[in-house]
Amino acid sequence: MKKEYIVGIAGATGAVGVEMIETLVKRNFPVKEIRLFASERSVGKKMKFKGKAVTVELLKAGCFKGIDIALFSAGASRSKEFAHDAAKDGAVVIDNSSAFRMDADVPLVVPEVNAKDVFKHKGIIANPNCCTAILLVAVDPLHKANAIKRIVVSTYQAASGAGAKAMAELEEQTAQVLRGDKKLKVEHLAQRIAFNLFPQVDQFTDNGYTKEEMKFQNESRKIMHAPKLRVSATCVRVPVLRAHSEAVNIEFSKPITPAMVRKLLSKAPGVQVVDDPANKKYPMPIDASGMYDVLVGRIRQDISRNDGKGIELFISGDQLLKGAALNAVQIAEVLISR
């Protein structure tokens, strides 16, 4: 008889928490019982799991006793407050926040890249930043065939990356502009997002990069086991509701052609090659939304180089799924595979 597991979700009422619930159902994860946790304002709310109503409980110390797998998406401060207690109570924590990603004792996992690292856990496993996960699904198969030396990436990050309230703010501001309102309400994002974009995701650091931009290099090195990999990122928030996109320039160790890249990616798990510009087919967030796979296209030789070692490509991936909820559930699937 197939073993079933008691699963808990911290931050169940948030945008990622909702996707975690739906992903568990869609992927037929063997759930014996599900328990949902959130802050005080959501306690008592009813949410559906496989057609049954489940009451949201208060996220607090001791609430994970008896739970096998705990999916956390309640923010870094909540993870730091409760994840270690959950692990001590016997749950394996899969954390979606930034709280433990660079902790040497915590595996940072994208299953298509480094699934074996799951089994090195000491009670907590970290989900990477959403943009890092989307990027590495596409570039790691190339790295395994021809070592990557350097990546330059510019992102086009949807409002969904800042949560459900940011998505609502985009919708509200758009309606305000179309009504002709002069003053727009800006609360959950750094700047006005409707009919605008801005090059700030997260806080700036002393080197001029934002924390989000530094995650690309730090997390990629850890996940890919490539300590010398160089990554420079510029992260931009754009007026798109859901799914992030990335323009990527890659420097390889040896010459490589677009045809070789297409062949490698056509066989890569979690990737769909959408690369027919003549017929206006290329990755777009509107197509990536709701998809498990990362879309990759606009694959071409970097014409600024004369050594054949540069490739340009464009990626779109669902931030709430592969960038968060799906990746967490995939980690859980790897975890129970043994």
For the annotated catalytic residues, the residue numbers are: 130, 244
As to burial, measured by CB atoms within 10 angstroms (0-12 exposed, 13-18 middle, 19+ buried), residue 88 is exposed
Specify the 3-state DSSP secondary structure of 16: helix
Specify the 3-state DSSP secondary structure of 19: helix
Q: How far is residue 230's CA from residue 265's CA, in Å, rounded to a whole number?
A: 22
Among 241, 229, 219, 249, residue whose Cα is nearest residue 313? 249
HSE, side-chain direction, 13 A CA sphere, residue 196: 17
Read off the DSSP letter of residue 174: H
As to burial, measured by CB atoms within 10 angstroms (0-12 exposed, 13-18 middle, 19+ buried), residue 291 is middle
Q: DSSP secondary structure string, 96-134?
A: -SSSSTT-TTS-B--HHHHGGGGGG-SSEEEPPPHHHHH
Q: 289 near 295, Cβ under 8 Å?
A: no
Write down the residue that tokens 């909540």 correspond to: 78
Q: How far is residue 181's CA from residue 174's CA, in Å, rounded to a whole number?
A: 10
- In which order are the strands placed within the sheet that holds 69-72? 46-49, 52-58, 31-38, 5-10, 69-72, 92-95, 124-126
